[in-house]
A and B are shown apart, each in its own frame.
Chain A
Amino acid sequence: MQADLLPFIDWKHHPRQVIAPRERIITAGDPTEMLFLLESGVALASDAAGRGHKHPTDLAKKASGSDITYVAGALLSLLELLSLDTYRHDVLAYEECRIIGINRHEIKAMWNRDNRLAWPLSCSIAAAITQRRQTRFLM
Protein backbone atom coordinates (compact mmCIF):
# COMPACT_ATOMS: atom_id res chain seq x y z
CA MET A 1 0.00 0.00 0.00
CA GLN A 2 1.71 3.15 -1.23
CA ALA A 3 -0.04 5.36 1.32
CA ASP A 4 2.05 3.65 3.99
CA LEU A 5 5.10 5.25 2.41
CA LEU A 6 3.91 8.60 3.77
CA PRO A 7 3.28 7.74 7.43
CA PHE A 8 3.52 11.36 8.57
CA ILE A 9 0.27 12.20 6.77
CA ASP A 10 -2.86 11.70 8.79
CA TRP A 11 -5.17 10.82 5.92
CA LYS A 12 -8.20 10.72 8.22
CA HIS A 13 -8.27 14.50 8.46
CA HIS A 14 -8.39 15.23 4.74
CA PRO A 15 -11.65 15.56 2.79
CA ARG A 16 -12.83 12.72 0.57
CA GLN A 17 -14.21 13.01 -2.92
CA VAL A 18 -16.35 10.40 -4.66
CA ILE A 19 -15.77 9.98 -8.39
CA ALA A 20 -18.32 8.15 -10.53
CA PRO A 21 -17.26 5.41 -12.96
CA ARG A 22 -15.75 6.76 -16.24
CA GLU A 23 -15.22 10.20 -14.72
CA ARG A 24 -11.76 11.73 -14.67
CA ILE A 25 -9.87 11.94 -11.40
CA ILE A 26 -6.87 13.58 -13.06
CA THR A 27 -6.99 15.31 -16.43
CA ALA A 28 -3.84 15.52 -18.52
CA GLY A 29 -2.60 19.09 -18.23
CA ASP A 30 -3.76 19.60 -14.64
CA PRO A 31 -1.03 21.16 -12.47
CA THR A 32 0.66 18.63 -10.20
CA GLU A 33 -0.37 20.60 -7.13
CA MET A 34 -2.37 17.79 -5.56
CA LEU A 35 -1.42 14.23 -4.70
CA PHE A 36 -4.34 11.82 -4.74
CA LEU A 37 -4.66 8.71 -2.63
CA LEU A 38 -7.15 6.17 -3.92
CA GLU A 39 -8.98 5.09 -0.78
CA SER A 40 -11.38 2.72 -2.50
CA GLY A 41 -12.30 1.66 -6.01
CA VAL A 42 -10.26 1.04 -9.15
CA ALA A 43 -8.80 3.68 -11.45
CA LEU A 44 -6.94 3.56 -14.74
CA ALA A 45 -4.19 5.69 -16.19
CA SER A 46 -3.88 5.26 -19.91
CA ASP A 47 -1.22 6.49 -22.27
CA ALA A 48 -3.90 6.69 -24.96
CA ALA A 49 -6.03 8.85 -22.69
CA GLY A 50 -3.16 11.25 -22.24
CA ARG A 51 -2.93 11.71 -25.99
CA GLY A 52 -6.65 12.16 -26.37
CA HIS A 53 -7.01 9.21 -28.73
CA LYS A 54 -9.75 7.44 -26.87
CA HIS A 55 -13.09 8.41 -25.47
CA PRO A 56 -13.20 7.88 -21.72
CA THR A 57 -15.96 5.28 -22.11
CA ASP A 58 -13.76 3.23 -24.40
CA LEU A 59 -10.90 3.51 -22.01
CA ALA A 60 -12.90 2.30 -19.09
CA LYS A 61 -13.58 -0.91 -21.00
CA LYS A 62 -9.97 -1.42 -21.89
CA ALA A 63 -7.49 -2.11 -19.12
CA SER A 64 -4.52 -3.55 -20.89
CA GLY A 65 -1.38 -2.67 -22.82
CA SER A 66 0.23 0.47 -21.47
CA ASP A 67 -2.61 1.17 -19.03
CA ILE A 68 -1.81 1.34 -15.33
CA THR A 69 -4.42 0.01 -12.95
CA TYR A 70 -4.66 1.56 -9.51
CA VAL A 71 -6.34 -0.16 -6.58
CA ALA A 72 -7.17 1.01 -3.06
CA GLY A 73 -4.13 2.40 -1.27
CA ALA A 74 -2.38 3.63 -4.41
CA LEU A 75 -0.97 7.11 -4.85
CA LEU A 76 -2.14 8.19 -8.31
CA SER A 77 0.48 9.20 -10.87
CA LEU A 78 3.09 9.62 -8.16
CA LEU A 79 6.00 9.80 -10.60
CA GLU A 80 4.33 12.57 -12.58
CA LEU A 81 3.58 14.52 -9.42
CA LEU A 82 7.22 14.36 -8.36
CA SER A 83 8.75 15.11 -11.73
CA LEU A 84 6.40 17.31 -13.77
CA ASP A 85 4.62 20.65 -13.47
CA THR A 86 1.47 19.21 -15.04
CA TYR A 87 0.06 15.69 -15.16
CA ARG A 88 0.73 14.01 -18.48
CA HIS A 89 -1.95 11.32 -18.43
CA ASP A 90 -5.61 11.14 -17.55
CA VAL A 91 -6.61 8.95 -14.65
CA LEU A 92 -10.17 7.65 -14.90
CA ALA A 93 -12.40 5.98 -12.37
CA TYR A 94 -12.99 2.43 -13.59
CA GLU A 95 -15.50 1.90 -10.82
CA GLU A 96 -16.71 4.33 -8.17
CA CYS A 97 -13.64 5.76 -6.46
CA ARG A 98 -13.14 7.50 -3.14
CA ILE A 99 -10.08 9.70 -3.24
CA ILE A 100 -8.23 11.96 -0.84
CA GLY A 101 -6.31 14.95 -2.14
CA ILE A 102 -3.38 16.60 -0.39
CA ASN A 103 -1.38 19.61 -1.50
CA ARG A 104 2.17 18.78 -2.66
CA HIS A 105 3.64 21.73 -0.76
CA GLU A 106 2.19 20.35 2.45
CA ILE A 107 3.90 17.02 1.79
CA LYS A 108 7.17 18.67 0.86
CA ALA A 109 7.15 20.76 4.05
CA MET A 110 6.54 17.68 6.21
CA TRP A 111 9.23 15.80 4.29
CA ASN A 112 11.82 18.54 4.75
CA ARG A 113 11.45 18.55 8.51
CA ASP A 114 13.64 15.46 8.89
CA ASN A 115 16.00 15.66 5.93
CA ARG A 116 16.38 18.28 3.22
CA LEU A 117 17.76 15.81 0.69
CA ALA A 118 14.89 13.34 0.60
CA TRP A 119 12.37 15.40 -1.39
CA PRO A 120 14.70 16.66 -4.16
CA LEU A 121 16.25 13.19 -4.40
CA SER A 122 12.81 11.65 -4.88
CA CYS A 123 11.97 14.27 -7.52
CA SER A 124 15.26 13.69 -9.34
CA ILE A 125 14.84 9.92 -9.52
CA ALA A 126 11.21 10.31 -10.60
CA ALA A 127 12.28 12.75 -13.33
CA ALA A 128 14.88 10.32 -14.64
CA ILE A 129 12.28 7.54 -14.82
CA THR A 130 9.69 9.80 -16.45
CA GLN A 131 12.21 10.97 -19.07
CA ARG A 132 13.17 7.39 -19.87
CA ARG A 133 9.51 6.43 -20.28
CA GLN A 134 8.96 9.41 -22.54
CA THR A 135 11.92 8.40 -24.69
CA ARG A 136 10.53 4.89 -24.94
CA PHE A 137 7.25 6.30 -26.23
CA LEU A 138 9.08 8.32 -28.87
CA MET A 139 11.18 5.41 -30.14
Chain B
Amino acid sequence: MAQNSKEIRLFHGEALFRVGQIAQEFYMVNSGAIYVLDEKGVIALKQFFAGELFGIPEVLAKGRWSNTAIASGITVLTRFDASHLFRSLDEMPANQSDFIRHIASLA
Protein backbone atom coordinates (compact mmCIF):
# COMPACT_ATOMS: atom_id res chain seq x y z
CA MET B 1 0.00 0.00 0.00
CA ALA B 2 2.87 2.36 0.77
CA GLN B 3 3.76 3.11 -2.87
CA ASN B 4 0.08 3.76 -3.58
CA SER B 5 -0.31 6.29 -0.82
CA LYS B 6 1.13 9.68 -0.04
CA GLU B 7 1.23 11.76 3.09
CA ILE B 8 -0.14 15.26 2.65
CA ARG B 9 -0.20 18.21 5.02
CA LEU B 10 -2.89 20.89 5.02
CA PHE B 11 -3.00 24.25 6.70
CA HIS B 12 -5.97 25.30 8.81
CA GLY B 13 -8.88 26.05 6.48
CA GLU B 14 -7.21 24.59 3.39
CA ALA B 15 -9.53 22.55 1.18
CA LEU B 16 -8.87 18.84 0.78
CA PHE B 17 -11.44 18.57 -2.01
CA ARG B 18 -14.27 20.70 -3.32
CA VAL B 19 -17.85 19.90 -4.19
CA GLY B 20 -18.17 18.49 -7.71
CA GLN B 21 -14.63 17.15 -7.98
CA ILE B 22 -14.30 13.51 -9.00
CA ALA B 23 -13.60 11.23 -6.05
CA GLN B 24 -10.48 9.39 -7.10
CA GLU B 25 -8.77 9.08 -3.74
CA PHE B 26 -9.71 8.23 -0.21
CA TYR B 27 -8.01 9.43 2.94
CA MET B 28 -6.93 8.54 6.44
CA VAL B 29 -6.44 11.31 9.00
CA ASN B 30 -3.10 10.98 10.79
CA SER B 31 -3.39 14.12 12.91
CA GLY B 32 -5.64 17.15 13.07
CA ALA B 33 -9.16 16.97 11.65
CA ILE B 34 -11.14 17.27 8.45
CA TYR B 35 -14.50 19.02 8.40
CA VAL B 36 -17.00 18.21 5.66
CA LEU B 37 -19.03 21.36 5.10
CA ASP B 38 -22.61 21.96 4.04
CA GLU B 39 -23.32 23.47 0.62
CA LYS B 40 -22.98 26.99 1.97
CA GLY B 41 -19.63 26.13 3.52
CA VAL B 42 -20.78 27.24 6.94
CA ILE B 43 -21.77 24.19 8.97
CA ALA B 44 -19.62 21.10 9.51
CA LEU B 45 -21.81 18.15 8.59
CA LYS B 46 -19.21 15.60 9.56
CA GLN B 47 -15.80 15.58 11.19
CA PHE B 48 -13.01 13.08 10.77
CA PHE B 49 -10.25 12.76 13.33
CA ALA B 50 -6.96 10.88 13.68
CA GLY B 51 -7.28 7.22 12.76
CA GLU B 52 -10.46 7.71 10.74
CA LEU B 53 -10.71 6.76 7.09
CA PHE B 54 -13.17 8.35 4.69
CA GLY B 55 -14.12 8.60 1.03
CA ILE B 56 -14.30 4.92 0.16
CA PRO B 57 -18.02 4.76 -0.75
CA GLU B 58 -17.63 7.80 -3.03
CA VAL B 59 -14.54 6.31 -4.63
CA LEU B 60 -16.15 2.90 -5.11
CA ALA B 61 -19.14 4.62 -6.73
CA LYS B 62 -16.78 6.58 -8.99
CA GLY B 63 -18.81 9.60 -7.99
CA ARG B 64 -18.11 13.24 -7.30
CA TRP B 65 -17.70 14.80 -3.89
CA SER B 66 -21.05 16.20 -2.84
CA ASN B 67 -19.45 18.51 -0.28
CA THR B 68 -16.28 20.46 0.31
CA ALA B 69 -13.86 19.26 2.98
CA ILE B 70 -11.38 21.47 4.78
CA ALA B 71 -8.69 21.02 7.40
CA SER B 72 -9.27 22.10 10.97
CA GLY B 73 -5.87 23.04 12.32
CA ILE B 74 -2.71 21.74 10.71
CA THR B 75 -3.81 18.36 9.43
CA VAL B 76 -1.78 15.44 8.14
CA LEU B 77 -3.47 12.77 6.04
CA THR B 78 -2.52 9.74 4.05
CA ARG B 79 -3.99 9.87 0.55
CA PHE B 80 -4.74 6.49 -1.04
CA ASP B 81 -5.12 5.97 -4.75
CA ALA B 82 -8.51 4.38 -5.41
CA SER B 83 -7.31 2.33 -8.34
CA HIS B 84 -5.21 0.25 -5.97
CA LEU B 85 -7.88 -0.37 -3.36
CA PHE B 86 -8.65 -3.91 -4.41
CA ARG B 87 -5.00 -4.71 -5.01
CA SER B 88 -4.36 -3.52 -1.48
CA LEU B 89 -7.03 -5.87 -0.18
CA ASP B 90 -5.25 -8.72 -1.91
CA GLU B 91 -1.97 -7.68 -0.31
CA MET B 92 -3.39 -7.78 3.20
CA PRO B 93 -3.17 -10.88 5.36
CA ALA B 94 -5.90 -13.22 4.13
CA ASN B 95 -7.91 -13.08 7.36
CA GLN B 96 -8.10 -9.28 7.19
CA SER B 97 -9.08 -9.06 3.53
CA ASP B 98 -11.63 -11.85 4.08
CA PHE B 99 -13.08 -9.89 6.98
CA ILE B 100 -13.32 -6.68 4.92
CA ARG B 101 -14.89 -8.51 1.97
CA HIS B 102 -17.37 -10.07 4.40
CA ILE B 103 -18.29 -6.64 5.76
CA ALA B 104 -18.72 -5.33 2.21
CA SER B 105 -20.91 -8.33 1.36
CA LEU B 106 -23.38 -7.24 4.07
CA ALA B 107 -24.31 -4.17 2.00
- Chain A interfacial positions (CB closer than 8 Å to B): 2, 5-8, 78-79, 82, 111, 114-115, 117-118, 120-126, 128-129, 132
On whether A124 and B54 interact (CB within 8 A), knowing A117-B1, A117-B88, the answer reads yes
Number of A-B contacts (CB under 8 A): 64
Question: Within the assembled complex, what's the spacing in Å between the Cα atoms of A89 and B52?
Answer: 24
Report B56-86 CB contacts with A as 1/0, cut-off 8 Å. 1100000000000000000000000000000
- Per DSSP, chain B at the interface is helix
- Chain B interfacial positions (CB closer than 8 Å to A): 1, 28, 51-54, 56-57, 88, 92-93, 95-100, 102-104, 106-107
- What 9 A-B pairs come out closest when comparing CB atoms? A120-B53, A118-B96, A128-B57, A124-B53, A129-B107, A5-B99, A114-B93, A125-B103, A124-B56
- Per DSSP, chain A at the interface is helix
Is the beta-carbon distance between A5 and B56 smaller than 8 angstroms?
no
Query: Which residues of the partner chain B approach A129 to less than 8 Å between Cβ atoms?
Result: 103, 106-107
A118 to chain B: closest residue by CB: B96
Is the beta-carbon distance between A121 and B100 smaller than 8 angstroms?
yes
